[in-house]
Amino acid sequence: MTVRPRFTKSFRMKWLFILLLPGLLISCKPANTSKMISQLPNIILIMADDLGYESIGANGGGSYQTPTIDLLAANGMRFEHCYAQPLCTPTRVQLMTGIYNVRNYVRFGLLEESQTTFGHLFQEAGYATCIVGKWQLGKEPASPQHAGFDNHCLWQVSGGRVDPTGRDTRYSKPVLDVDGKLITFGDTDYGPEVVSQYGLNFIERCQESGQPFLLYYPMILTHCPFSPTPGSPEWNSEDTTTMTYKGEARYFKDMVAQMDQIVGGIISKLEDLGIQNNTLVIFTGDNGTDVPVVSMMNGRKIAGAKGKSTDAGTRVPLIIQWPDVITPNSINSDLIDFSDFLPTISKAANIDVGSFDLDGRSFLPQLHGEKGNPREWIYSWYSRSGEVDKARVFARNHHFKLYDTGEFYEVPEDYEEKNPLEISALDANTKKVHAQLREVLEHYEVRRLDKVPVSDE
């Protein structure tokens, strides 16, 4: 089943009005007069870019200051075992569709338009939908609309990663697509702040109209180039870090602080509008921290492992605040993967996804303090290019991890996966785990499509 997205008129006004006249620009439609519609929860899904589990203070991270996100954990629920794909596009496709990459991933930088996303589902349910931050899922100006979003303010839709001089365009003097119009901002503008302000304006406009909203915020931060932020002493100087792909890793600390501050701005907006109790706020990361960064967590050094299928490349923070539902200071150790988000937020919004062939399962009961239906395993099919012969495939539970190539690891004892276990030496209980994970791999091995259905089929 493919849900047809609705379309809105293209944005035709100068970027300055985004900041000054939010009520004129954000097209929240008049809400249905039904009391049921007005009581539906708002959903905000924030996903930091290249931010591993170890980067957050509430998770035991000791290298960076994350007071806002730590407060989210204190006021909500912190998950200890959430796993993404090792890289951005594979994670985004899995997150937005609720389907494992083995079944619908085509290639890097693309979300095939035949796929149904949570944007489509929420549109059809009467929600206003908006995406801000980083796109990188198709180069057509209307590709965010095709994915189910009424409004967008995004980096890397029709614009490239760098400008003609080779300068990265996401941070200082950003180049952003705003509702179909490519805009080059000023020298003193900062991309993450511009997209965040657009999102805040969207929230405010929807609150005024009474329409429930879905704001999906795949953040620009903390991806390289590691470069000065408005909070850095070097900000707006003759800095050259944006002229190289990686920049300088020493700025990662400032970028984490800026990310935390932006999340704080969103929470403050909800509080100012008096809608925080009816808003489900999710914070997570799209994959592990980038390779040049080394962080401390609970006294242990964690080297960034973005792009790798190890724990450091796939384990990400997941912190959720929903004051009317979640008991403060809750900690959950269930296995969560990125196919689970779509069914969870859909269930929270009373959207029925029972007719969809999803791989994810809802963890909404856990947010209510119930046991729910927790996973016994998660599965990952990771190929940056989408080519089957280049895929890294595994199934795992809390303790053990089995690759389709046969390597079997006890993860808490071997986080870097350097010492595969000898299968013949396993005890009886561990052999049962090995057999279960083998069954998972065999089940999904036959689910890879020779060709993902395309939009015109």
At 281, list the tokens. Answer: 């706020």
**pLDDT tens track for 261-278:** 999 999 999 999 999 999
User: Residue 213 — very low, low, confident or very high, per pLDDT cuts 50/70/90?
Assistant: very high
Residues 6+ apart with CB under 8 A from 444: 100, 102, 379, 381, 393
CA-wise closest residue to 328 among 43, 73, 82? 73
Residues 6+ apart with CB under 8 A from 92: 111, 136, 137, 218, 286
User: Residue 243 — very low, low, confident or very high, per pLDDT cuts 50/70/90?
Assistant: very high
Q: 287-319 b/e with 16+ CB inside 10 Å = b?
A: bbbbbbbebebeeeebbbbbbbbbbbbbbbbbb
CA-wise closest residue to 257 among 392, 65, 21? 65
CA-wise closest residue to 41 among 283, 320, 279? 279
Asked, for residue 209, whether it belongs to a domain, the answer is: yes
Q: 255-268 b/e with 16+ CB inside 10 Å = b?
A: bbbbbbbbbeebbe
278: domain CATH number is: 3.40.720.10
What are the φ and ψ backbone dihedral angles of 332, each rounded to 5 degrees?
A: -125, 135
CA–CA–CA angle 258, 212, 264 (5° rounding): 15
Asked, for residue 400, whether it belongs to a domain, the answer is: no
Asked, for residue 203, whether it belongs to a domain, the answer is: yes
Q: Which amino acid is at 200?
A: L
Taking residues 186-202, what's their average pLDDT?
A: 97
pLDDT above 60 (res 349): yes
Contact status, residue 209 vs residue 221, Cβ threshold 8 Å: no
Residues 6+ apart with CB under 8 A from 383: 90, 101, 105, 390, 391, 392
Residue 198: CB atoms within 10 A of its CB come to 26
Taking residues 275-284, what's their average pLDDT?
A: 98
Q: What is the CA radius of gyration of the chain?
A: 21
Cβ burial of 252 (10 Å; 0-12, 13-18, 19+) is: buried
| Overall residue count recorded for the chain in this entry | 457
What domain count does the chain have?
1
pLDDT of residue 237: 84
**pLDDT tens track for 8-48:** 333 323 344 444 344 334 557 554 434 444 589 999 999 99
Residue 48: its H or E element: strand 42-48
Cα distance between residue 385 and residue 106, in whole Å: 7
Strands 315-321 and 279-285, bridge-based pairing: antiparallel
Helices and strands of the chain, counted as H and E runs: 14, 16
Name the DSSP class of 69: H
Asked, for residue 285, whether it belongs to a domain, the answer is: yes
**pLDDT tens track for 425-454:** 999 999 999 999 999 999 999 888 776 766
Q: 132: domain range?
A: 38-379
Asked, for residue 31, whether it belongs to a domain, the answer is: no
